Amino acid sequence: MEENQELTDIELSEETIDNLNQGTVEIKTEITGESTDKKKEKKEIWRYFVGALIGSAFTLLVILIAISILSFGVRKMPKGSLLSNTVVYKIDTLKTILDYIYYEDVSEEDMLDGMYRGLINSTGDKYTSYYSADDMKMTNASWEGKFFGIGAVLTIDPASTYTMIESVELGSPAEKAGIKAGDYIKEVDGTDVAGMTLTDVVKLVRGEEGTEVVLTIVRDGEKKEISIIRGEITMDAVYYEKMEDGISYIQIARFSDVAVEQFAAKIEEAKKDKAKGLIIDLRGNPGGGLDVAVDICGQFMPAGLIVYTEDKNGKKTEYTIDGSNEWDIPLVVLTNEGSASASEIVTAAVKDTGVGTIVGKKTYGKGVYQSVVPLPDGSAVKVTAGRFFSPKGVCFHQVGIEPDVEVELDVDKYLDEEIDTQLDKAKEVLKSKMNP
């Protein structure tokens, strides 16, 4: 009767009410149709029911995710593998959270790359990195010394998180367009690059030969847009100059694959110029290949040990040269705080063997080496595998190499008058060795 009474209007006379009170009458009801108020009430109830159902479903999803996460501890992980059922289930759960709750779409490729990077980054070692297939293509192109781009070396300024132009290659598209060292890149083709990794910024800057890229740069506090047509870039790793008083100057910018051949050619050029003294400039050289550094030492140093490595198991590997290309000539090596890794191998070898004098500032202090492990899908992992030791058994990691003659670079003189105070000191020291 309750359900029917909610849908029925009942009319009672006074006599019927009296009889009802006396319990002597039977009430007969007649359905006369729903009232307007009843229809509204029914509709509101339905809306409430649907809303509650949707809310309950979402709440249930969150609860199920929470329960699944809490249940991870119950499962056992098999020995020797990270990918137990528990881990796989958690990965799928995290993916579900991103798919259904995160406010933007994330591609599966980006999720996987992020997962791989996270695993490698668990080392806490800034030199151990994961490279996607695209990262490796770009890295290999740079390592080989040829790629398509603008011809500028980029770095990240830690203070502003923006990318900065570290140097510009002579005759490059960047130089022709007016890009200068010290410029900050704010945008690439309208994309703000603040906080981006250097790899991601380089991806935006590089492109097909003949295509245009627009850099929004900041110089001396002023913002301007510069359009550059990308071209084929062949990055010389070694530069040579014949200086006054029989001095030959060789600058090694990076220890890439092309450096050994280029360095050997410059040494031959210096010999043809009948050099009486040699300056090797390693300032700002971030390093490169271990074998490259050893082979470069083999172009001018006597036979002997150049460097040895030691891995986590204590295994030592020695790298020696036969001295067949020894050049007995007064030598100065220029270094600064940016001389790292392979640069420090050469510096330490020269210092320990006494074949030359180190001039400038203390080196960076990267005395660990990395092994690159390629993966089947074109990606790779660069892993710190051990430490470097100089011929005398000194590891310069996080310590650096002190110069024999310390001298500051006067930045104001360098920028305003193009006077290189460190190079001038190197010449002075070299001349004293040339004319004892």
What are the tokens at 9?
């209007």
What angle do helix axes 342-353 and 290-297 make, rounded to 10 degrees?
30
Give the separation between CA 52 and CA 58, rounded to whole angstroms: 10
Tokens 């039977």 correspond to what residue? 26
Whether 341 is catalytic = yes
**Would you say 359 and 280 are in contact if contact means Cβ atoms under 8 Å apart?**
no
Nearest Cα residue to 338 out of 261, 243, 251, 429 = 251
Tokens 């509204």 correspond to what residue? 40
**List 352, 361, 425, 427, catalytic entry:** 352
In angstroms, the Cα distances linking 97 to 13, 52, 111 are 65, 22, 12
**Would you say 236 and 252 are in contact if contact means Cβ atoms under 8 Å apart?**
no
Residue 298 main-chain phi, psi, to 5 deg: -70, -10
Residue 252 main-chain phi, psi, to 5 deg: -105, 115
What are the tokens at 426?
């190197």
Give the separation between CA 133 and CA 136, rounded to whole angstroms: 5
Partnered with residue 168 across adjacent β-strands are 152
In angstroms, the Cα distances linking 426 to 329, 352, 357, 418, 423 are 15, 19, 9, 16, 5
Q: Hey, how many other C-beta atoms are within 10 angstroms of the C-beta on 169?
A: 18
Please provide the DSSP assignment of 188-213 as one string. ETTEE-TT--HHHHHHHH--STT-EE
**List 366, 379, 390, 427, catalytic entry:** 366
8-state DSSP, 72 = G
DSSP helix/strand/coil, 374: strand
In angstroms, the Cα distances linking 216 to 179, 189, 227 are 11, 8, 9
What are the tokens at 419?
């006077």
Where are any strands of DSSP class E within 13-139? Answer: 129-131
The vertex-170 CA angle with 165 and 174, nearest 5°, equals: 45
Give the separation between CA 341 and CA 320, rounded to whole angstroms: 17
**List 129, 248, 256, 341, catalytic entry:** 341
Whether 352 is catalytic = yes
> What amino acid is encoded at 323 in this protein?
G
Nearest Cα residue to 371 out of 387, 347, 394 = 387
Catalytically active residues, by annotation = 341, 352, 366
